[in-house]
Amino acid sequence: MKNADMTTLLAQFPLLEELIALKETTWFNPSTTSLAEGYPTLA
């Protein structure tokens, strides 16, 4: 993948930066649930 392609992907999907950095990341698909519904299931 070219740098320009990666830059475009990172601009479109900012969450990728956290994933690439191997940071612990939580993401809820807004098409399937909301934060209010999904967050309590993590505990």
Confidence (pLDDT) at 27: 77
Question: How would you label 1-30 residue by residue, b for 16+ Cβ within 10 Å and e otherwise?
Answer: eeeeeeeeeeeeeeeeeeeeeeeeeeeeee
pLDDT in tens, 23-43: 998 777 778 878 788 788 776
Confidence (pLDDT) at 28: 72
Burial class from Cβ neighbours inside 10 Å (0-12, 13-18, 19+) for residue 41 reads exposed
Please state the rounded mean pLDDT for residues 1-6.
76
Q: Tell me how many domains the chain contains.
A: 1
Host domain of residue 20: 3-42
| Whole-angstrom distance, CA of residue 38 vs CA of residue 20 | 24
Is 34 in a helix, a strand, or coil? coil
pLDDT at residue 1 greater than cutoff 70: no
Please state the rounded mean pLDDT for residues 9-26.
91
